[in-house]
Structure 1
């Protein structure tokens, strides 16, 4: 039911004015207390506002705007399976009493039923802890990849992880960004053109609506607003956080942003580059074993501190390893650059294959060229020249997700989002893989025919189409409005990221700092931490060195599950800015600090290279 509306200021004045125009008799009867007192009576006391209930009454009671409807309200008791009618398998159980609310925000994108580009609107799923357990904070979570989901489904839970976070006391919301498609086909109209409406929903509008609706729902459910609102996301979720900080800075007080998928069309163009390199230069893919051997050799060459092999590289910007000069990875008799190969390893490489890996490490160029790593190893914060279009994955990072062969699981190629973007940018589904479907045609793997110039054209066209792609690149360096609002941002990225080149984060942070007046000014509200060997959105992303130790969670110090989020809360609520952050391996045998960029951990020259006390931030 509709909540009672308290009397507004001026009500008594308007009542008195209305009585003044009546007859004297009527005035006496209607405006007196009946005993000759001409003083107007006080307005009746307003009724207390009624809180929303976790049941179907919410469907009519919660009406924040004409575009929003409540699809489903479902209470879960502690221990209940987090399942709806369509759930299969064994779902997790609720760790506390929770209320799940599913919303749909229109207008969506009309079209043929069942078509990927047809959408009823933006799905939003909100998990509410019980009133007694709410910590008066919102903690919204970002998505990954194309970020489609089942948030608008009445038979499937959209995000059970959000329920787990809500059990700790936060209101938690997630969104399907306006579509359910696992591939990028939702962003192509049925005639093959650009679906600008769903691009806008995906890139920005869904995020704005998520912030607005979680706040409104929390206010109506608990009868008070949140004290703080936080954003947390990796990859697409990281890009989403920066989009909100850039365009809607009032939405959140703090952001944890990991490996953000910013500069979307540029880095995703690079994600197809390894495949183009191998098709054009080699006529086919390198094997996973070859990629692993050469990457392991890079770790062995550059992952040594104080004379001790760590099994990972602390700062790949300092690594200029070149397999064309390494006889140990070049096949026996292969003519390298100044060496003759001596390797009898089954995964050894020839000179062309070694140079192809150098191209993957350097990043996309317009013509497929690559400079000598001794001269330029792509370590600069800005692109070297107009020929360098984007950075590559770091030396030591696992290369299989972008350059591996389909016959060697878990290697596969190309990365599906990269071919989706080629199809969407060229408005031709044939360039995608067969998973991309559209009434105008389906994916036909025509990416295989692309030249270096073709892919450079995709990158340039992606930039040109930003107004139609909803500003998906999310690369505006001006965060002055977020700073003025008092927001705080912790941004971190792993040097072992297997999907999004870590140098992209350094590039954005540097441009952002320049816009803010320098690194010292930027660090007052936004801090970047580069994490050695951390993979994409968690785990170890580095391969192991040839001679060990193995790159495992017990040998690589990584962030704890909530470590950076806890630091953000302390910064926002207590003004304690994160400085030297100590990371530890799973068994605590290895520890190392990470530092606010541009500082980095520097070995003191003595002490154990696996102990954080042997490093300082410089």
Structure 2
């Protein structure tokens, strides 16, 4: 018999009641020892899974897994909230660590592949559904508490209960608890450091896009600027022209904006913001064609490169997307701007329409053409920013408890502008009086797209760096990163680079093999020329 389920009870008492009267487990890693476990405002069930292959509820079969106890839980901390989580506990060889993984977009999907990967190495691994099912913001219709769950509460409630289950299962608490995520997962990591500093000893937060209200406004801006006002029938710049634009931008910038760092003759990798490519260089001499841009297309791209602005004050609301990220290279990379400048399933509507309808409160009949980038931005910020944004620069509580934070962001990201991570790092430094490297380091990844892919060394060894920092007190002076064949995790390494903590960058020594990390040193970066955000929108 492959599985055995144990159903566990619901408790209304305080969290400290968890282990009160709880008998010691018969042996470590025995699902049966969890029988009768009481969790506050939660219920769990446990399943013994034999060693070998296992098919999780979604995604591919996971091979070569050790025997483990699969715990599924539901937390209901307040009326209207229902948070699901899943915890995998190795039956033997537990290394004392609890590792949580973040989510993507608005999806409830758990990162089963990542959970399986660290389970094989002896970790207890954890994921949450963020308080809903599905991947569209419509889940919040009539469920305001689900927005709070997604914004920050689901990760917190899940890891608190998971720590309690771990302690009961092994007879001792996890000695270290870590979090890793990118995109929405990075957002979750930042929210945890800001709101719940005791939850994690170490956090990896990639491409976080913590200013979610303004990030979504940026996507809406892209849509509006890529259509004639009120016309949803056809985009001004069709997705098919993004490759033309990206290739022209890279041809203009890859060899001319500071060659000598990162890749030995590729300055664009290190500083895409120094690229000043003007799409007018592709202006059609006559009529429209596949190899040129019409005047409306040129103006649309210029507006996108400039970023969303308040029409009344002229202030920039959020960072624009960098030149060179328009197409992102195609498969196996992400599809670039076209993924978010319209709804992939309905190109005649903006991305994230249901965010505006059900989260921002504009209702089912909302017209995106009526959106006011002055008045409506202020209304959305007042309604949602305190709940879903992760922009608080005060990390003092996280620092005092000894927490360590590694943030990273790809410099070719077509989804979350990397300038947001740089600006947030600066605000934390200002709030902390400069004492940032002792607990928080930002690593910019030349040539990496959104969380993965791209022409640079886009697979950094983050987990090992974080563990050395947390467990041994060794801060990451550099993090090794690789570019593998086909951008596959198991592909042959084609070249390696060190990633350096901002504001440093990797500089080639001028003599060594450019494909090896040992040929690079970390040196001070002169500082990127970040687009200016209006005073009303700096957060």
Task: Specify the TM-score bucket, using the shorter chain as the normaliser.
Answer: 0.7 to 0.9
**Which among 329, 332, 339 is matched to residue 285 of structure 2?**
332
Q: Please, which moves more after superposition, 421-430 or 385-394? A: 421-430
Q: Distance in 2 between matches of 1:349 and 1:147?
A: 36
* Preserved CA contact (<8 Å) 1:54 1:74: no
**Which among 280, 294, 316 is matched to residue 388 of structure 1?**
316
User: What is the match of residue 268 of structure 1?
Assistant: 216
User: What is the match of residue 467 of structure 2?
Assistant: 569
**Which among 501, 508, 514 is matched to residue 430 of structure 2?**
514
* Preserved CA contact (<8 Å) 1:288 1:404: no
Q: Which structure shows the higher strand fraction?
A: 2
Q: Deviations over 1:301-330 (max 9, x none)?
A: 111135986496321121111122x2xx22
**Which among 96, 100, 121 is matched to residue 140 of structure 1?**
100
Counterpart secondary structure, 1:429 = coil
User: What is the match of residue 501 of structure 2?
Assistant: 596
User: What is the match of residue 360 of structure 2?
Assistant: 425
Task: Give the TM-score of the pair, scaled to structure 2.
Answer: 0.81
Q: Please, which moves more after superposition, 301-310 or 243-252? A: 301-310
**Which among 350, 355, 368 is matched to residue 299 of structure 2?**
355
Q: Say yes or no: does 1:97 pair with 2:48.
A: no
Q: Please, which moves more after superposition, 348-357 or 236-245? A: 348-357
Displacement, 1:234? 0.8
* Preserved CA contact (<8 Å) 2:100 2:127: yes
Q: Distance in 1 between matches of 2:125 and 2:58?
A: 23
* Preserved CA contact (<8 Å) 1:74 1:101: yes
RMSD: 3.4
Q: Distance in 2 between matches of 1:593 and 1:254?
A: 21
Change (3 A) 1:415 1:260: farther
* Preserved CA contact (<8 Å) 1:246 1:479: yes
Counterpart secondary structure, 2:217 = helix
Q: Which has the larger radius of gyration?
A: 1
Q: Deviations over 1:83-109 (max 9, x none)?
A: 5xxx58963335111110111111565
Q: Say yes or no: does 1:480 pair with 2:396.
A: yes
* Preserved CA contact (<8 Å) 1:298 1:321: yes
Structure 1: runs of 5+ lacking an equivalent: 3-45, 111-118, 152-157, 190-194, 335-343, 369-384, 432-445, 541-550
Counterpart secondary structure, 1:593 = strand
Q: Say yes or no: does 1:288 pair with 2:288.
A: no
User: What is the match of residue 381 of structure 2?
Assistant: 463
* Preserved CA contact (<8 Å) 1:275 1:403: no
Q: Distance in 2 between matches of 1:224 and 1:404?
A: 46
Q: Say yes or no: does 1:364 pair with 2:282.
A: no
User: What is the match of residue 171 of structure 1?
Assistant: 124
Q: Distance in 1 between matches of 2:191 and 2:344?
A: 35
Q: Distance in 2 between matches of 1:367 and 1:461?
A: 16
Change (3 A) 1:90 1:578: closer
User: What is the match of residue 84 of structure 2?
Assistant: 123
User: What is the match of residue 418 of structure 2?
Assistant: 502
Report matched runs for 1:9-48 at 5 Å. Answer: none
Displacement, 1:426? 3.6
Q: Distance in 1 between matches of 2:225 and 2:310?
A: 12
Change (3 A) 1:216 1:470: farther
User: What is the match of residue 252 of structure 2?
Assistant: 301
Counterpart secondary structure, 1:232 = strand
Change (3 A) 1:102 1:415: farther
User: What is the match of residue 580 of structure 1?
Assistant: 478
* Preserved CA contact (<8 Å) 2:340 2:351: no
**Which among 55, 62, 67 is matched to residue 82 of structure 1?**
55
Number of residue pairs matched by the alignment:
483
**Which among 135, 140, 165 is matched to residue 187 of structure 1?**
140
Q: Distance in 2 between matches of 1:609 and 1:395?
A: 25
* Preserved CA contact (<8 Å) 1:403 1:414: no
**Which among 214, 217, 221 is matched to residue 165 of structure 2?**
217
Q: Distance in 2 between matches of 1:422 and 1:319?
A: 36
Counterpart secondary structure, 2:481 = strand
Q: Deviations over 1:218-249 (max 9, x none)?
A: 10000011111101111111111111111111
Structure 2: runs of 5+ lacking an equivalent: 1-6, 9-20, 328-334, 485-491, 525-539
Q: Deviations over 1:242-266 (max 9, x none)?
A: 1111111111110011011301101
Q: Deviations over 1:157-213 (max 9, x none)?
A: x83542332221111111111111321122231xxxxx4322222212212111211
* Preserved CA contact (<8 Å) 2:72 2:84: yes
Change (3 A) 1:93 1:594: closer
Q: Distance in 2 between matches of 1:410 and 1:302?
A: 33
Q: Please, which moves more after superposition, 204-213 or 312-321? A: 312-321
